[in-house]
Structure 1
């Protein structure tokens, strides 16, 4: 049974639709003149795409369905090239569209393929995980990974719409639900303190996929991101705050060969950024402790193993926020008051790493 849709505007460009049992709304997001649609989904989970494929076919469109590897294995040049080949064989034109159905990796890939096919065709994102809904599918960042790092190849290509059907979370593995909440908590620290209050008051409520608390924090985090990206699509300034915790998180993912969930890496990355900020005199020890308390309460990791510093530092030096030899971190002065810390000493960074271990 469908519920009322929440519409969250991303500037004047597009809406994010949130609700339960609302998969039929996808056809509202596809322009009337679109004749062909490529639906990209994780190959192990074809059932995620089935209702959307059926709805599109019932609307009279020709639908091409492509299963891709799960998780970060989807985000490679080889997988993107295979999708380009499928689009070419099917004769996709600029008036056709791509739909990404799945987690953040699938929506990143689908967006990148749409951005690069014929220099840009429409993409509609249908995220099916918490992480995808609150982060990857919203904002127009697309990308694939290389051996040198995560999301180093990509393009800014906003979708024409995003559909978040919360019923897809009913079968989401608990570990993936918990990991996705790291990005929700990030929104609390950088902008919306109400998210933190809810997480602290009743963390179990945020783990109830059918409960109102999870829907509220999902919608709040989407609203945070929508506001930021509407004012800074291409990350010239403000949008960098959305990378809170990500410099260290991306380094962990690379060092671990993408075998750690993105949200788990972000949780550790936020604690690392808080350790750096505290040592630099930017953040209070109380706020550092609050990071650990909120994340631990939700079952997220706040520590990392020793012995990997040199590899992590090398990976951070390849981070997109780095300028020349200067490492740049998003840090907090307080909840809702993000700022940048440029060029902290390597000794300070190492001390923060040691505190994590």
Structure 2
């Protein structure tokens, strides 16, 4: 079993990466916590796949977990859904020793984390991510949030889990579009911090899409290690951690304008990464070969690179609500080369408009 540690002083925690470890979650929890009650938050479809294994494993060490099922999809990341979970938790007589388990993808993790951060001013929670995107990105680092009609993840908190348990076997049942969406975030890590990872992706496209065991273990472990290093340096995103948002300024605007229903998160970020790379060329930070290389890899993974049906002016207006903005300036993470990026906040709006228009012609 691979064991990565995020060192955040009293908020430090382990990321466990292996196979066939879902049944051991109860043991892992009992080693670090003394729960008065355990509540699993998940989707019905995910519970059907993994619920029995986790619930029986918890029972084997003396826990009787409750389960709260939420609807599938990004629209569940709402204050209304959080309120419904609060209602259930009050009915269960939860207290500050209660522990929430997020079993599912990024939506479940973000929603559960935000609920844990705000219920009685904070209770422990565990991440058990079951999608590639949540394993390599959203389960690690303590960003929790719900969406607002005017912007994605606009209501949230920095709140670290007590443990992240990644069972790579959960990827076997993952729909292909979800796998591809997760690969978008892996590509991001290569662009922002690790040329070796990017080259590995280029050289192992079919193996990865075929769920080759060694390839999956490598990209999950490497991605988590990159994010851990970044979060350790800048837990609350004062600046350096913003490099993790490469492609997200454009991507979040696309998700917002399509009401979180047309694109998976990773698909929107794929489009956003290309737009950011094109903006980097226009800003003089990189040459034209860089966006071509990124485009080729995204297309090989079957990811979208265009959002034809959105107007450039609407995307720019939506980006004005981005959390990274400062003093009314749009802030972007732009690549200089594979493995290196720069945070820029003085890009002329006319340049952004031009890039958005050009990206539709690719």
Query: Structure 1-normalised TM-score?
Result: 0.96
CA root-mean-square deviation: 1.3
Please point out which of 288, 295, 299 is paired with 1:296.
299
User: SS at the partner of 2:45?
Assistant: coil
Matched, 1:20 2:19: yes
User: SS at the partner of 1:49?
Assistant: helix
Matched, 1:256 2:258: yes
Matched residues in 1 for 2:207 and 2:20: separation? 21
Aligned length: 353
Q: 1:59: how far off?
A: 1.6
Matched residues in 2 for 1:171 and 1:56: separation? 22
User: SS at the partner of 1:45?
Assistant: helix
Q: Which residue in the other structure is 2:133 paired with? A: 131
Matched residues in 1 for 2:52 and 2:59: separation? 11
Q: Which residue in the other structure is 1:8 paired with? A: 4
Q: Which residue in the other structure is 1:341 paired with? A: 344
Matched residues in 1 for 2:206 and 2:73: separation? 26
Matched residues in 1 for 2:215 and 2:233: separation? 28
Q: 107-116 or 330-339: which moved more? A: 330-339
Q: 1:307: how far off?
A: 4.6
User: SS at the partner of 2:35?
Assistant: coil
State whether residues 27 and 61 of structure 2, in contact with CA within 8 Å, keep that contact through their aligned partners in structure 1: no
Q: 1:310: how far off?
A: 2.0
State whether residues 191 and 338 of structure 2, in contact with CA within 8 Å, keep that contact through their aligned partners in structure 1: yes
Gaps of 5+ in 2: none
Provide Cα deviations, 1:207-236, integer angstroms capped at 9, x if missing partner: 122421122111111111011112211001
Aligned ranges 1:1-357 → 2 under 5 Å = 5-11=1-7, 13-30=12-29, 31-47=32-48, 48-259=50-261, 260-357=263-360
State whether residues 71 and 103 of structure 1, in contact with CA within 8 Å, keep that contact through their aligned partners in structure 2: no
Q: Which runs of 4+ in 1 moved over 6 A?
A: none
Provide Cα deviations, 1:29-83, integer angstroms capped at 9, x if missing partner: 3234212011000133322333212211222123110000112122011110111
Query: Structure 2-normalised TM-score?
Result: 0.95
Q: 1:306: how far off?
A: 4.9
Matched residues in 1 for 2:287 and 2:27: separation? 47
User: SS at the partner of 1:312?
Assistant: helix
Provide Cα deviations, 1:71-112, integer angstroms capped at 9, x if missing partner: 212201111011111111211111121000001000000100
Gaps of 5+ in 1: none
Matched residues in 2 for 1:164 and 1:45: separation? 15
